[in-house]
Structure 1
Amino acid sequence: MAPDRFTRFAAIDWSGARGASHKGIALAVCETGDAAPVLVAPPGRAWSRAAIRDWLHGEADSDLLVGLDLSPGFAFLDEGAYFPGWTDGPADARALWAMVDALARDDADFGADGVLGDPEIRRHFRQQRDCGDLFPGGAGRMRVCEVGQRAMGLSPTSCFNLVGAAQVGKSSLTGMRVLHALQDRVPTWPFDPVPNRGALIVEIYTTIAARAAGMRKGLSKMRDADALDTALVALGSRPHVPIPRYDDHATDAILTAAWLRANAARKDYWTPTGLTPHIARTEGWTFGVAAVPTD
């Protein structure tokens, strides 16, 4: 059943960049109703991943649905492993998170450079000037839900690809460390069941929100007030309160929080066709992907 108890909704545009202060992280929150989401100001000049971890920890007891813009798992189903050929590799997402956190424990602010210091793991990733011999080429390995994203006309990228503006691998690795730190405090769907109370994290893909708001492929970024308001109205939200800077991170967070509120009660998003218990333990799922092709 789709939960109907959430009264607040948050979207977090994430960053896998090095350092401890990230202009690429934005957090927007809204409540039930139709008021536009508002940005939450960081405790300093910009958000750190540790500060987001602390904010989520503090919200654990509230009926808050949180969309986090990263992939919390790697492809597993296609090869029966995250790292095929490695007999001692992690067997599920929680073991993967623990491994990533252990390898990167010396990296500041939940960074993940240390993961690629392991020569066995590095073979599976495409990096700048260093493509691992076990990276399959092309778009790279895809999760089952990413196959569903492609069927929706979206353009997901493999989490094993760490090159280019569209890559999500660095964000995913850093996000896994944060999820590992929060796992005893804030559950993450579908690795965890939907709890009867308290906060819950789901994976989001901000382009899904943009498409739902009527924005065409290739034109999914909003860099001015009018474009943002047009998209918000299409999702049943009132216009937003003006913000100091209209960059992709802020507008993506605001729009996706409104989309999450508008779609949180959709049963097909909580019980998507193709999501099995095995996928829920290993790869996870993007909220907003209702089905994957069956052939």
Structure 2
Amino acid sequence: MVGEKARREAGVVPRFDHFVAIDWSGAATERPGGIAMAVAHGEDGAPVLVDPGPNAGKKGGWSREDVLAILRDELPADTLVGLDLGISLPHADCGAFFPGWADSPPDARSLWAMIDRICAGDPHLSASSFVDHPELSAFYRRHNGREGARFHAPGAVHRRGRFRVTEERQAALGCSPYSNFNLVGAAQVGKSSLTGMRVLHRLDGRIPIWPIDPLPPSGSVIVEIYTAIPAIAAGRRAGTSKIRSHEELRQALSALGSAAPAGTGLVDDHSADALLSAAWLRIAAQDDRLWNPPGLDAVASTEGWTFGAP
């Protein structure tokens, strides 16, 4: 493999000094317990958790507004940020995000703007208004058995809802992705994705979001990640990808060639996901193939992609 310095000199991939991974949550509360942020610096060293600081208040933890503020105003230069959420919705399968609806937006950025507009009155950058929309709710699987008539694509071969192209590729890796239109169960990713898209819209173009935006030769970039992919890269099976002890975390980080933060005993899976993903981003960013997966160009502006999906 060509070394990072040679890659930078050749202009093959951008040069990143910091690697940040953020485990996300779509819960409709000010400080969801599921948000965790970790950073890995340079070419070595253990990844570390980022403390939300004094803004966390008595309840502790990150708010989505806190994360937005860091991404917009406090991010170190030349940082690769991985967000564990879907940056868009399925489009290629039906030729539209919301087929048959006259106001279906044409691309991902228009989708983000529409979501933020519809949810303008929802506190904490939550997204309840979008999934309860009288027309858009037909595309979602919601709680209490409320599955919209448009949740599945015509001729669907599985019951997990509509997939983006990148989710089909995730499945080929052995992952078990669920549709971004799914709001039910432990595997639901719908509200996480919608709240994340509100944040992306409010960044207002300050940071390129790959592959919605072209990959720049320098500067910071945001990518979508799926934390099962770093776990698989560290030798764990997709079905048992969650890490819940410092011992397991140390083994997984070692498999990625990374030192581990100090600690023993239990660790919450959100923190572990962020720590492992930050270390994985540090090595994955050097792989040209991950920036150029087959078929990307056809869906880049509409569906986006999960960094690391083949």
Q: TM-score, normalised by structure 2?
A: 0.90
Choose from 251, 255, 266 the match for 1:230. Answer: 251
The 2-side partners of 1:187 and 1:4 are apart by 12
Aligned to 1:108: 123
Shift of 1:243: 7.9
The 2-side partners of 1:218 and 1:178 are apart by 30
Shift of 1:245: 6.2
Shift of 1:94: 0.5
Q: 1:207 to 1:2 in 2, by over 3 A?
A: farther
SS in 1 for 2:135: helix
Aligned to 2:306: 286
**5+ long unaligned stretches in structure 1:** 291-295
Aligned to 1:74: 89
Shift of 1:239: 2.1
2:154 matched to 1:139? no
- The answer to whether the 8 A contact 2:80-2:220 is kept is yes
2:32 matched to 1:16? no
Aligned to 2:6: none
Aligned to 1:246: 267
Shift of 1:93: 0.3
- The answer to whether the 8 A contact 1:60-1:185 is kept is no
Moved more, 34-43 or 72-81: 34-43
Choose from 32, 54, 63 the match for 2:78. Answer: 63
**Aligned amino acid, residue 231 of structure 1:** A
Shift of 1:175: 0.2
The 1-side partners of 2:237 and 2:92 are apart by 31
Structure 1 residues 8-63: Cα deviation after superposition (integer angstroms, max 9, x where no partner): 10000000001111210000001112211100001311100000000111245610
Shift of 1:159: 0.5
Runs of 4+ in 1 over 4 A off after TM superposition: none
The 2-side partners of 1:265 and 1:85 are apart by 41
CA RMSD of aligned residues (A): 1.5
SS in 2 for 1:28: strand
Q: 1:61 to 1:219 in 2, by over 3 A?
A: closer
Q: 1:81 to 1:243 in 2, by over 3 A?
A: farther
- The answer to whether the 8 A contact 1:59-1:199 is kept is no
2:75 matched to 1:54? no
The 2-side partners of 1:243 and 1:17 are apart by 29
Aligned to 1:211: 232
Structure 1 residues 232-260: Cα deviation after superposition (integer angstroms, max 9, x where no partner): 00001012122896101000000000000
- The answer to whether the 8 A contact 2:160-2:178 is kept is yes
Q: TM-score, normalised by structure 1?
A: 0.94
Aligned to 1:264: 285
Moved more, 192-201 or 280-289: 192-201
Instruction: Work out the percentage of aligned pairs sharing the same amino acid.
Output: 51
SS in 1 for 2:39: strand
**5+ long unaligned stretches in structure 2:** 1-10
How many residues are paired up?
289
- The answer to whether the 8 A contact 1:126-1:132 is kept is yes
Q: 1:116 to 1:217 in 2, by over 3 A?
A: closer
The 2-side partners of 1:147 and 1:217 are apart by 15
